[in-house]
Amino acid sequence: MAKKPIGKAKQDWATQVGRACAASGLQLTTLRRQVLDIIAKAPAPLGAYAIIDAMSRAQDKQVAHPTVYRTLDFFLEHGFLHKIESRNVYAPCEHLGHRHHGILLICQVCGRTDEVESASLGKLVKEIAARSGFSAQSQMVEVEGRCRICQGVAATTDNNALDEPIDAR
């Protein structure tokens, strides 16, 4: 689990999804590819309407909503995407191919998300669920706050770590 540079990770994600689909005999239709591409290119997780808009622009005609929702469901079902329930947007899964016991860090400023895994948190949640007689399969904790980059911007007044000053006029 190496630290990934921002931007490149998403392109890798699209490539990995393509590979995973091929490996498990899932068909990546043109439509699925387009949705994948739109999500991979977006700097932050998108809502369904933004995806539908981008699709309609790409195809130069209005794309039917159920078609896009079905495509998103496909990616959700196979664990390629996460739905961020609190914001109703879709984020690429950064840890493809295994069950999730993670934390999704959601930046309230730029909307970027970062997915971190925690085996100990996963274990804890399973134990707590088990006490209620519940068998937990997967879980994703959503945490809202400020990402590293947005904190850096906000902190320029009291530290000069950035070489480009933010509008000093």
Interface ranges with Zn ion (CB under 5 A): 93, 95, 107, 109-110, 147, 150
Please say whether the beta carbons of 92 and 80 come within 8 A: yes
Torsion (CA) 8, 10, 15, 19 in degrees, nearest 10: 130
Tokens representing 150 are 């947005």
| Nearest residue (CB) to Zn ion, 17 versus 93 | 93
Three-class SS state of 99: coil
Q: How far is the CB of 129 from Zn ion (least distance, A)?
A: 19
| Nearest residue (CB) to Zn ion, 67 versus 108 | 108
Q: How far is the CB of 77 from Zn ion (least distance, A)?
A: 13
Which among 103, 101, 104, 105 has a CA at the least distance from the CA of 127? 101
| Nearest residue (CB) to Zn ion, 68 versus 91 | 91
Spatial distance between the Cα atoms of 90 and 133, rounded to a whole number of angstroms: 30
Q: How far is the CB of 140 from Zn ion (least distance, A)?
A: 7
Please say whether the beta carbons of 75 and 59 come within 8 A: no
Q: How far is the CB of 57 from Zn ion (least distance, A)?
A: 26
| Nearest residue (CB) to Zn ion, 78 versus 95 | 95
Which among 74, 124, 84, 82 has a CA at the least distance from the CA of 99? 82
| Nearest residue (CB) to Zn ion, 40 versus 56 | 40
Three-class SS state of 166: coil
Spatial distance between the Cα atoms of 154 and 1, rounded to a whole number of angstroms: 28
Q: How far is the CB of 38 from Zn ion (least distance, A)?
A: 19
